[in-house]
Amino acid sequence: MTNFNLFYESANNVPAPYHFESLIRFIEFGTPQASLEVEIQYTDRDDFSKEELIAEGLPTEESWAWKGSISPAWQQRLAIRFETYKSGSCKPRDEEPFIMLEYPNSTTKVPRMLEIEENLIQEFIQSIFETAGRELPLFLGFQFKNELDEWIRIEGELSFQNLNFTYQESGSVLKTISDWDRLQTLMNTVYIADFQADKAKEELRSTQSFAVYPGDGLWYVAGDSLRKPSGNNRYFDGLENSLRELFKS
């Protein structure tokens, strides 16, 4: 598995300007010298102005290329997943992405579950953007009652490059959580909420409000600008319990 290519394309039902294709070449994968060659092409952007793309938080160029290293952590994570791929070609439905590995002998392999695998590939591409300096880690914040029934505020950076969350608790010393699976679970819980930006605040003055800063520059207070998902009446209890457990003193 030393040298091979990964092809990824957004699902057909992903519209412009979000739709893109990528080719990632893995070189000497599985060794300390492992590196990447990345090519990304954004499609069907003619109808969008530069200002519109910037407003959506998207790059303005139609293509991007980069060469650089891949961390041991990502090599290990990808190697485990790539071992589960099966031989064959990729024939996605409209709602599924195109994901395929290609080896020098022209052998191809594909994931068993395209939609599930897409999360991994998108995280990997995000890690490449961080490594290249194209994007910064995601800055997140949470204010909640801990297991001692004390209000605390957690603020820090979620790094896809390093697969960790480095944070401060109410201004204390820096700490790091490297259990990426648990961090993923928390993010999956956070982002299913209903975020109402028109009611959110740039600065959270209250020190006794359950609130989330999801990385968009605003604080969302539970029950006001942060609403539970439809039909999930115990959402806030579950989210707060997850935060208490993850950031237990």
- pLDDT > 70: percent of the chain: 99
- Reported as a pLDDT band with limits 50, 70 and 90, residue 218 is very high
pTM of the model: 0.89
Q: What is the DSSP-derived secondary structure letter of residue 222?
A: B
Question: In whole angstroms, how far apart are CA 97 and each of 19, 24, 58, 122, 168?
Answer: 10, 15, 19, 11, 37
Encode pLDDT of 33-65 as tens digits.
999 999 999 988 888 888 998 888 888 889 999
Helix segments in the chain, DSSP class H: 50-55, 72-82, 114-131, 180-190, 235-246
Average pLDDT, the chain: 94
What count of other Cβ atoms lies within 10 Å of the Cβ of residue 83?
9
Encode pLDDT of 147-186 as tens digits.
999 999 999 999 999 999 999 998 889 999 999 999 999 9
CA distance 105 to 123: 28
Q: Are strands 138-145 and 220-221 parallel, antiparallel or unpaired?
A: unpaired
What does the pLDDT read at residue 134?
92
In this prediction, residues 84-105 reach a mean pLDDT of 96
The answer, yes or no, to whether residue 249 has pLDDT greater than 70, is no
The answer, yes or no, to whether residue 98 has pLDDT greater than 90, is yes
CA distance 80 to 73: 11
The answer, yes or no, to whether residue 89 has pLDDT greater than 70, is yes
- Reported as a pLDDT band with limits 50, 70 and 90, residue 24 is very high
The C-alpha R_g of the chain, in whole angstroms, comes to: 20
